Amino acid sequence: LFELTACVTINVYFPEAKAREAAEKNVKEIMGLDKMESEADKQSSVIPEMQTILVSVVDFVIPAAHAGSPGEDKIKAVLQKRFAQLKPFFDSGVVGFTKDGMVGIRDLKAVAPKERGKLKKLVNADNSDRKALYKESARALGNPQWEAKQQAIYAQEWIKQAKQKGYYYQDKSGKWVK
């Protein structure tokens, strides 16, 4: 009798470029920055029709690296609506982005006592949906075990956008900075 044994090693690589691209796109959509950029592009473009045609051709030839999933789209829609509610708190510095990709209350005393409960509920709901987004985004990339990596990438993107918008965020040590 002849016995054959084999050892197969399968390496599954985290698609970091796709993950970063997805996080940037999603964060900008949630914060409404994609619309602002789109309007600026329209105003600055000499020939907007040509730009639209070029983008369409590129999208056809090079499909999106991470098109998302229906679950991801649902979560993003909820986060977009809630961001509109949280935006005044970001603008005033009451809340900010934490180093782990969540929203944190930075200065609860700056909120009227009757509004504090509402703010806490908004932040808790937002953080719950953020966790769901990171999980669903990892699944859409092909591996649910990448959730922590996805969360870290999203955290970097939230902070990048916070810096550009002048919002508070936590640095690596957890200190709030603007």
**Tens digit of pLDDT for each residue in 57-97?**
433 433 344 457 888 999 999 999 999 999 999 999 999 99
Asked whether the whole model's pTM tops 0.85, one would answer: no
Over residues 119-135, mean pLDDT: 97
Strand (E) or helix (H) holding 102: none
Over residues 140-151, mean pLDDT: 89
Q: DSSP state, 110?
A: G
> Are 178 and 104 spatial neighbours (Cβ–Cβ below 8 Å)?
no
Helices (H), 109-166: 113-140, 147-165
